[in-house]
Amino acid sequence: MADEKVLVPDIGDVDEVDVVEVLVGPGDTVEVDDSLITLESDKASMEVPSTVAGVVKEVGVAVGDKVGEGALIAVVEAAAPAEATADEPATTEEPSAEELAPPAATPVASASEPATPPPSAPEGDWDTELLVLGAGPGGYTAAFRAADLGLRVTLVERDERLGGVCLNVGCIPSKALLHVAAVIDEAAEMRHHGVAFGAPKIDLERLAGFKNDVVGRLTGGLEQLAKRREVEVVTGEAEFIGPHELRIGGEGGRVVTFGQAVIAAGSRPVELPNFPNDDPRIMDSTGALELADVPGRLLVIGGGIIGLEMATVYASLGSKVTLVELQDGLMTGCDRDLVRPLERRIRERYEDIFLGTLVKELKAQKNGIKATFEGGDGTPQSRLFDRVLVAVGRRPNGGLIGAERAGVAVDERGFISVDSQQRTNVPHIFAIGDLVGEPMLAHKATHEGKVAAEVAAGLKSGFDAQVIPSVAYTDPEVAWVGVTETEARAQGRKLGKGVFPWAASGRSLALGRDEGMTKLLFDPETERIVGAGVVGTNAGDLIGELALAIEMGCDAQDIGLTVHPHPTLSETVAMAAEAFEGTITDLYMPKKQAAKS
Ligand code: NAD
């Protein structure tokens, strides 16, 4: 076991930067890529990862030090070579500054650069160099990136169309229908402003056609993108039959051997047991998006994002919606002040919303589905519905693909653990997307897919996003990113807060809506933004700026002093920062909070 030094890597144009955090101490065990310290210059901050796995013997820096390239960060007693991956020889040479560069902060190659041979790519005469199982946003991104980096790629997908749940039966078709819902509602609300339209006539066939067309254009586009990259696409249900072998189409099906693989097999809706789930009137999100009819009365079970989005669509199309949620609030995980404007609006529009309520039984009858409830005051014992949407979460597909035959560990729920390079416990097999853990979001999967492809191609990449934004495309939209107030309260963490109510936004009022709010959360000491939430029209499009602000370590001044275009909803971001600073003029702030000079 040799002692290895971890040094400060190339820090760009500046000679010295401040050490603002030391994240390890003597005796700590670190893995490769674990952050050791945080450095900060005027422009940015970066965490410096360990290049060695082992036990920290000595730390060479303290908070407040100024350091330059090559300064000693730590001496690490490297773990025994057996700890190194089977295919990756442990090196005892002192790494160069370039090698020490943090993986995500310093992209090590672009698509145009030739890929270096992957350190873990096992030698062999494989049918394909990289097999990707599953063609959702994570899988196709991994396949395309790997092909761009020079790997021979096979993409296996059980459905005829590429794109997975997101493109075919999830994000995209639901957004097409949510757009239609928003137009119907906006048109109706115009009557308050002097423009009245008649009741909408809904031609369900054409509406479904519009949605299918949107999906078809995207999935067709993916086929073209695969072709142009010479990614081989194979259609069929796949399962691993060995560490380097996958069979497609069951017993007697085609066997493909691979050097490396990316598992991107996604998730499926949770079914509630003991319900007549094979009755076509009881739908999951896929069924609800088929738009077979507009039920007179719809029961939505689950007040999460899927339940709330589909309730938005069906309520606008004319269904009387009852929504039942087991917990005491809708969209748990999101701060209550952000959910409140949504809840206020939908309580007026839906037949009922029952919180803290369990659906005990669903009984298929000729005249409908009879639901029996167990809830608080005001919850009826039972009610009859034309259709029921069950949206009570999704479960990962890790247990359905024979992963154990490849040696990949899958937990009892179907999740597969990965390291920051998306490697499973089998070093040449990666996993990404819904089946590696929450949040189950397409944009997380695509980023993970890129990392897996880059690592498979021999690049030093890693997943080190600080935050992943969440968006509910309801009306109003609700979006949040980073630390929430609820979370901070539970941890006893103090936060500074700046709030801008959209009732003071000219743009919001001009849209005929005033219930929105933009909230920024700051570390009270550094005044850096650590979290944000937006509720209101297009909140989902505003949250990206705030995710970037967190990633860049912006403080309230950075945000407030950035000139935002007027009149836009994006101004509310700057104004919330100004509200925190006490420099806002579009609101009256009490004297004691008013501007510091
Ligand atoms: P969810 O876990 O977000 O919400 C399910 C809700 O159902 C929870 O609030 C839960 O308390 C409730 N519930 C569970 N059992 C219940 C019961 N028996 N009776 C009543 N309520 C019950 O799950 P979802 O809404 O199905 O979404 C699944 C996943 O898909 C999530 O990870 C979500 O983030 C993701 N998704 C995201 C988007 C988006 O980003 N816009 C859209 C759709 C789905």
What does pLDDT average to over the chain?
91
301 lines ligand 1 (CB under 6 A): yes
Q: Using an 8 Å Cβ cutoff, are 146 and 111 in contact? A: no
334 lines ligand 1 (CB under 6 A): no
Task: Give me ligand 1 centre to Cα 130, in Å.
Answer: 33
Closest ligand 1 atom to Cα of 306? 25
Residue nearest to atom 31 of ligand 1 (CA): 440
Taking only the tens place, the pLDDT of each residue in 155-179 is 999 999 999 999 999 999 999 999 9
Tokens of 551: 């990633």
Helix count (H) and strand count (E) of the chain?
Answer: 14, 30
pLDDT value of residue 45 = 54
Taking only the tens place, the pLDDT of each residue in 21-41 is 788 899 988 888 777 887 876
Residues 6 or more apart from 295 whose CB is under 8 A from it?
Answer: 314, 319, 385, 386, 387
Task: Give me ligand 1 centre to Cα 269, in Å.
Answer: 9
Residue nearest to atom 35 of ligand 1 (CA): 440
Taking only the tens place, the pLDDT of each residue in 61-80 is 998 899 998 999 999 999 87
Taking only the tens place, the pLDDT of each residue in 297-355 is 999 999 999 999 999 999 999 999 999 999 999 999 999 999 999 999 999 999 999 99
Task: Give me ligand 1 centre to Cα 7, in Å.
Answer: 45
Taking only the tens place, the pLDDT of each residue in 217-276 is 999 999 999 999 999 999 999 999 999 999 999 999 999 999 999 999 999 999 998 899
Asked if pLDDT for residue 99 goes beyond 50, the answer is no
CA angle 310, 313, 319 (to 5 degrees): 100
392 lines ligand 1 (CB under 6 A): yes
Asked if pLDDT for residue 47 goes beyond 90, the answer is no
pLDDT value of residue 93 = 38
241 lines ligand 1 (CB under 6 A): no
Percent of the chain clearing pLDDT 90 (strictly above): 80
Q: Using an 8 Å Cβ cutoff, are 1 and 82 in contact? A: no
546 lines ligand 1 (CB under 6 A): no
**Confidence band for 88, pLDDT divided at 50, 70 and 90:** very low
Question: Among 443, 464, 489, which Cα is nearest to 551's?
Answer: 464
Residue nearest to atom 8 of ligand 1 (CA): 304
Residue nearest to atom 24 of ligand 1 (CA): 393
Tokens of 117: 């041979």
Phi-psi region of 484 (alpha: psi -120 to 50; beta: other; left: phi over 0): beta
CA angle 217, 219, 220 (to 5 degrees): 65
Question: Rounded CA gap, 331 and 333, in Å?
Answer: 6
Tokens of 347: 């309580």
pLDDT value of residue 301 = 98
CA dist 122 to 70, 126, 261, 367, 416, Å?
A: 34, 10, 11, 61, 22
Instruction: Name beta bridge partners: 150.
Output: none
Which one has a higher pLDDT value, 115 or 522?
Answer: 522
pLDDT value of residue 105 = 31
534 lines ligand 1 (CB under 6 A): no
Asked if pLDDT for residue 96 goes beyond 60, the answer is no
Asked if pLDDT for residue 115 goes beyond 80, the answer is no
pLDDT value of residue 83 = 41
327 lines ligand 1 (CB under 6 A): yes
Ligand 1 mutation target, pool 289, 305, 339, 354, most atoms within 8 A of CB: 305
Question: Among 342, 305, 292, 352, which Cα is nearest to 175's?
Answer: 305
- Range with the poorest average pLDDT among 20-24, 107-111, 141-145, 478-482: 107-111
566 catalytically annotated: yes
326 lines ligand 1 (CB under 6 A): yes
Instruction: Name beta bridge partners: 354.
Output: 324
Closest ligand 1 atom to Cα of 473? 41
306 lines ligand 1 (CB under 6 A): yes
Ligand 1 mutation target, pool 174, 274, 306, 373, most atoms within 8 A of CB: 306
Task: Give me ligand 1 centre to Cα 121, in Å.
Answer: 38
pLDDT value of residue 18 = 85
Which one has a higher pLDDT value, 436 or 45?
Answer: 436
Closest ligand 1 atom to Cα of 394? 28
The phi and psi torsions of 92 (rounded to 5 degrees) equal: -105, 0
Phi-psi region of 407 (alpha: psi -120 to 50; beta: other; left: phi over 0): left
| Strands ordered across the beta sheet of 54-59 | 3-7, 72-78, 54-59, 29-30
394 lines ligand 1 (CB under 6 A): yes
The residue annotated as part of the active site, out of 244, 428, 447, 566, is 566
pLDDT value of residue 306 = 97
Question: Rounded CA gap, 336 and 328, in Å?
Answer: 11
Closest ligand 1 atom to Cα of 331? 9
Tokens of 71: 């300064």
- Segment 398-404 mean pLDDT: 98
pLDDT value of residue 121 = 60
328 lines ligand 1 (CB under 6 A): no
